[in-house]
Structure 1
Amino acid sequence: MSTSVVEKKIPSGAIASHVLLAGDPKNPPAILLHGAGPGATAASNWLRCAPDLAKHYYVIAPDLVGFGQTELPAELPTHILGWIGHRVEQVLGLMDTLGVERAHVVGNSMGGALTLHALVQAPQRFDKVLLMGAIGAPFEYSWEMKRLLEFYKDPRPARYKEVIESFVHDPAAVPGLDEIIKQRYAVAMDPKTREMTNLLFQAQAAGMNDLTVPEAQLGRLPHPVLLVHGRQDRIVPLDTSLYFLKHLQQAELVVLDRCGHWAQTQRWDAMYPLIVKHFGG
């Protein structure tokens, strides 16, 4: 069975999404939702992981609305909740187009908040869930998070390197990190991407905690949720996963040592078996 990754433009509600696909469509579908750093796309988050997951699942990884090559809505939101709403509709529309009735989902950082909002809106469309360094809980911005959101005030390569290295525990222990930084910086500095991401960051900075999913809504979600958090995460604090652990119906937490915000990059050795065990396969 081929585990190669293909890129396609796929209708997803009112817009067309740029999507990475891998694996046999007859396998259980697994949707991968990326985070929101400068230069973020489905490929920057998941391209190295997709071939492994494609051995077990039909992998679906979209560029979320506002990122990558996915189309923009006719009217751009001015608040983070508006962006998340468009992304929920995007994911559900993509599932409809692909004929996916129900899917597992992995949500990283902002993709974690998106996952929770999608579960609240359409719980019947999702099966098992893995949240990785997810937002969607109340928290205070770290220095590193503030630096990320203010990146375009000083978008030099050296500053970008500083921002991205704050995502990992030990930059020297991440093979190919310099190439990842180079590729993501090129995306982040594309004029159209820069304009859009700056707009997104303004919306996020003004309303990040508005993405908090209330305790009562979390308590009604029936889905089995595995929470994964890096012990040395300097972007999103471990307290966010503890909030989810406290209020979700079915939740377990795994804290990974020697790991910052990018568990899929630093600790794939642990993440891969965790996903397969949790989702089955």
Structure 2
Amino acid sequence: MPLPHYELMHELQRYIDEDVGAGDLAVPILPHCSVAGNFTAKQAGVISGINIPGDVYQLLGDRANYTPLVADGDQVVAGTTIGRVTGNAQDLLAGERVILNLLQRMSGIATATQQAVLTLGNAEVGIMDTRKTAPGLRPFDKYAVTCGGGINHRMGLYDAVMIKDNHWPLIGDLSTAVQRLRQIIGPTKIIEVEVATPAQLATAIASQVDMILIDNQSPAVMQDWCQQIPAEIKTEASGGITLANLAAYAQTGVDFISLGYLTHSVDALDISFNLVG
């Protein structure tokens, strides 16, 4: 789910303001000359955010010429030069950290997502992200998931309803709550319900929700519950699912598997920037 470009530029400007502030204090010792630099992937992985350097340089004064050498979603090997830039030395060094912070994080997310998709080995089951993202980085995090072959769950509380464990004690009768929500939000937004017991499962099915989230259950229980859910209700599995047991959950009949670690426990891909020549 890529950001509209004007929103992307707004966010990047905030990150530049955070890092550069009133100005780079090292500028007085830097020459006013044109230099060249390479962005290099120092480990194998999936690239995401490849166009960010060009946007950052534009915001810093548009005195650099950046050329991406790969595309978002590309798998690269260690040592691959993924982008080149020539331009004002001060701008290239001022933008280095903002660019690398985003490129490394996003590529790490994309790499982890692809690893999960390949480990799953089942094209009929989708790997989804969650709202467990870094504050201020959700659009970037979720876009990176798509670069790795994953699927975006809701972007926030505003674009889909999920009745979770902490909602159950507060809403009273689920069927009544669902009917009321249908009247309020209309037919275009889905209603998903998290279930943790057989009784909650039966209630969710009877309420004719759009999607049921089965949380923290074993593959055997997951399979049994999925068989009880009508085909028109989509199913999602979450909780305690790792690369080690992912294949087992893929065989349960579930439609989607959500993995919070894709974005809340990011291992950044090692990407460097170095001047050349």
TM bin (shorter chain): under 0.3
Greater relative contact order (CA < 8 Å, ≥ 6 in sequence): 2
What TM-score, normalized to structure 1?
Answer: 0.24
Q: Which has the larger radius of gyration?
A: 2
Q: Which structure: greater helix fraction?
A: 1
TM-score between the two structures when normalised by the length of structure 2: 0.25
